[in-house]
Amino acid sequence: NAGVTQTPKFQVLKTGQSMTLQCAQDMNHNSMYWYRQDPGMGLRLIYYSASEGTTDKGEVPNGYNVSRLNKREFSLRLESAAPSQTSVYFCASSDGSSGVETQYFGPGTRLLVL
């Protein structure tokens, strides 16, 4: 049981390049999330998917797109990277079986945009 996995771990991009961050979970969770974490800003929600086939914007969606490929996988795409997108990106999935929707995080992707 690997939990939430993310690829790649590190990435350096040039301004204007595109890339896709991959996330997968093996916990059979319905909901999945993408966050970014910047120094002094805390964790901010980019997009989330409450169930397979649905996606919704979070607090900071501009410059990103997402795809909920199936129940296990949720990808984040940067179409034209900008230096302001330099950050650490975390994927999470959540389980409501305890009556409270608890989120579990992947190890993160560190992205540097030059």
Q: Give the residues lining the site for other proteins (CB under 8 A).
A: 31, 33, 40-45, 48, 50, 58, 90, 94, 96, 100-108
In angstroms, what is the minimal distance from the CB of 101 to other proteins?
Answer: 5
Complex with other proteins: residue 35 or 75, whichever CB lies closer: 35
Contact (CB, 8 A) for 102 and 80:
no
φ, ψ for residue 30, nearest 5 deg? -80, -40
User: Which of 9, 111, 7 has the alpha carbon at shortest distance from 63?
Assistant: 111
Beta bridge partners of 42: 38
In angstroms, what is the minimal distance from the CB of 104 to other proteins?
Answer: 7
Complex with other proteins: residue 79 or 101, whichever CB lies closer: 101
- CA gap 41, 64 in Å, rounded: 18
In angstroms, what is the minimal distance from the CB of 82 to other proteins?
Answer: 23
Complex with other proteins: residue 17 or 72, whichever CB lies closer: 72
Neighbours of 8 (CB within 10 A): 11
Complex with other proteins: residue 73 or 105, whichever CB lies closer: 105
